[in-house]
Homo-oligomer: A and B are copies of this chain.
Amino acid sequence: MLRETKLKEIPEIKIHGRTTACRDPLTLFWTASGFECNVTGSELWVELEVTFHLYEPWFSYTVNGDWVGRQMLQKGRYWIPLFRGMSPETVKNVHFFKDLQAMSDDGESYIHIHALRHDGTFYPVADKKLKMEFIGDSITSGEGLFGAKSEQDWIPMFFSAVRSYAYQTAERLDAEYRIFSQSGWGVHNTWDNNINGALPKYYKEICSLMPGAENERLGGKQPHDFASWQPDVVVVNLGTNDAASFDQPAWTDTQTGERYKMRREADGSYCMEDVKAFQQAAKAFLGLLRSCNPSAQIVWCFGMLGMDFQQYIQEAVSAYAQEASDHKVLYLPLPPMTPESAGSREHPGFKCHQQAAEVLAGYLAELL
CB of A55 closer than 8 Å to a CB of B: yes
**Contact status B344-A66, CB under 8 Å:** yes
A148-B64 contact in complex given A71-B71, A72-B81, A153-B87, C-beta closer than 8 Å: yes
Q: Which has the most chain B C-beta neighbours within 10 Å: A55, A65, A155, A318?
A: A318
Cβ-based interface call for A63 (8 A): yes
A336-B366 CB under 8 A given contacts A70-B70, A81-B72, A84-B56: yes
A315–B322 touching, CB < 8 Å: yes
B63 touches A148 (CB 8 A): yes
- Chain A, range 324-347, C-beta contacts under 8 Å to B: 327-328, 330-333, 335-336, 338, 344
Report A127 CB to chain B, min CB distance, Å.
20
**Min C-beta distance of A321 to chain B, whole Å:** 6
Chain B residues in 8 Å Cβ range of A69: 70-72
Cα-based distance from A66 to B147 in the complex (angstroms): 5
Query: Which residues of B lie under 8 Å from residue A64 when comparing CB positions?
Result: 147-148, 150-151
**Chain B's nearest CB lies how many Å from the CB of A278?**
14
Report the bound CA distance from A359 to B336 in whole Å.
Answer: 10
Query: Which residue of B65, B74, B335, B362 contacts A362 across the interface (Cβ within 8 Å)?
Result: B335
A76-110 vs B, CB cutoff 8 Å, 1 = contact: the mask equals: 00000111111100000000000000000000000
Measured CB to CB, the closest approach of chain B to A60, in angstroms, equals 9
Cβ B66 vs Cβ A333 within 8 A: no
The residue of chain B having its C-beta at the shortest distance from the C-beta of A344 within the complex is B66
Contact A333 B336 (CB under 8 A): no
Whole-angstrom distance between the alpha carbons of A84 and B86 in the complex? 33
Q: Interface on chain A toward B: helix, strand, loop, or mixed SS?
A: mixed
Find out whether the CB atom of A310 lies under 8 angstroms from the CB atom of B330. Answer: yes
A293 touches B (CB below 8 Å): no
Alpha-carbon distance between A86 and B330 when the two chains are bound, in angstroms: 40
Would you call A307 an interface residue if the criterion is a C-beta within 8 Å of the partner chain's C-beta atoms?
yes
Residues of B close to A322: CB separation below 8 A: 315, 318-319
Partner of A315, one of B65, B151, B318: B318
**Residue on B with the closest CB to A85?**
B155
Given A68-B157, A81-B72, A87-B153, verify A147-B63 contact (CB < 8 Å).
yes
Nearest 6 A-B pairs (CB), nearest first?
A: A318-B318, A64-B148, A85-B155, A71-B71, A66-B148, A336-B366
List residues of chain A with CB under 8 Å of any chain B CB: 54-56, 63-72, 74, 81-87, 146-148, 150-153, 155-157, 303, 307, 310-312, 314-315, 317-319, 321-322, 327-328, 330-333, 335-336, 338, 344, 359, 362-363, 366-367
29 pairs, CB–CB < 8 Å, chain A vs chain B: A54-B85, A55-B85, A63-B147, A65-B148, A68-B70, A68-B157, A70-B70, A71-B71, A72-B84, A74-B81, A83-B155, A83-B157, A84-B155, A85-B155, A85-B157, A86-B153, A86-B155, A87-B153, A310-B330, A311-B330, A314-B330, A314-B331, A315-B327, A318-B318, A318-B322, A332-B333, A335-B359, A336-B362, A359-B359
